[in-house]
A and B are shown apart, each in its own frame.
Chain A
Amino acid sequence: MSAVQKPRQDRAERAVRGMTGIPEGSKFLGFIPVDWRYDLTERFPGLRRVLRSRWTSFLLQLITASVFAVALVAGFIGTPVGNANLLVVLVWIFWWSALMLIMVPFFSRIWCALCPLPSAGEWLQRRAFVKKRQGKGLTLGKRWPAALRNMWPVNLIFLGMALFSGILTTRTTVTAWLLLGMVLGAIVISLIFERRTFCRYLCPVGGFLGLYSNMATMEIRHNVYSVCRDHKHKECVVGTNEAYACPWMEAPTTMARNTYCGFCFECFRTCSKDNMSVRLRPPGTDLLVNKNRGLDEAWKAFIMLGAAAIYAAVMMGPWGTLKDWANMTSVGGYLVYASSLALTVMVVVPAVWGAFVWLGRKLSGADVPFVRLFTNLSYSLVPIGMLAWIAFSFAIILPNWAYIPRVISDPFGWGWDLFGTAGVEWNPVGMRVMPILQVAALLFGLAFSIDVAWKIARQTLGDDRKASLATIPPVIFLAGVTGLFTWLLVG
């Protein structure tokens, strides 16, 4: 081995295997090496310079915040017809599809680098827009209560919102109030609590962004492990005069998963050794990280999987009654709908999945505690869950893309034509390709989920024979789920 290869070797070993419990030589689907990495910041030094600049984050946030402000105004004073209103189209058609089809799968939590919701709170808290200001910020700087430092608050807040999704995605003022409420909530939280407490522990979007960014093909990680190890004054953790300690309360030096990294790039600015990197990687590597797994995140996976099926049924199904229920046409119907949704995602999905995991544990005769196997294996629901959302999102953007150029020219629905695109015909594209895309997405999700389940079982049980037996029932569950989505989306 030559001296040149040495740091690369060190990097791969420490970053992927040594710290995360991923067995050496693992390959996804039998041929994609789990420890493959392509370091973008090393390859393109210009990128590092851009990320190191404090202006990058500010300008990105400024642009989205300006667009968001106009959209919010449209939500309040523009037409109440959702499809003709900038806010609803921007959020529920454009943002949603961009998030699920591009941002999360390829760029992890890049959205959080652009998100306008916490900007006001953060600027106030720091008493600064760009350059770091010395001295105390405008905040009590309290730490979030230890008992709540998990995904449960987000799970409940998300569920609360999910119950109203029919109303939310179709009523301009409801969307406007919700988003305004989130901005105000983020401000209040940032005045009381330290850093991005709102984003990490309370944002309902952040929960599934975090979970599904485990599938992303991009990551921010430390580069050469020994550099971090030997750097006694960990600037990325405590901050410097010029840049802030990780706003997301992560330790960039040991961070092993994308879940709570908001792509804010502060660690590129604090690290005097330039030892942070943006890297490409195979999707799903974080799911194999045998560290920090928990029931809170497992439940996030159940909620998202269940919600995908229910939304597909309500929004793309042929059942008028279901639509009436979700639209709160009658109180009784709505209560039936809301309680069955809550029950399904919080109880039914985990219970059925639990039964299959339990069966697998029995079959294998494994002696690890049930809860541990259950928690760990639940991460194998992430690929199929995410790909189901992707399949669902094709059916949002392809038929409805035309609303986007329309509202750009006529944001308030008042008959303007700013850019000459107000008259674009509503005209679904790719309808004949869509089912093929959806089927491909679902099958890829299933194959990936099966593979992750097997790898996690082997990691948890430490024995090929036991792992094989323990994975059989979960595979049946995963196949069943994929069958269900096939029926809902193309059947």
Chain B
Amino acid sequence: MTSNTMTLSTECPECGGGVAFNRSPLAGEVVVCGGCSAELEVTSREPLRVELAPEVEEDWGE
């Protein structure tokens, strides 16, 4: 059976562990992998894809 609902889990590109969301993430959302603590960025919502988030730059902050 096909479903229109989005897949809410994917794989961490760093450790290969599962990354799951309990709700639909926003594009650009940053999450921390529970397995390896890598910072991951949602680069696509459908299909759900995450990549390593870019490094913090010098002028980033509050």
Q: Do A and B come from one complex?
A: no
Residues of B bordering A, CB below 8 Å: none
Residues of A bordering B, CB below 8 Å: none
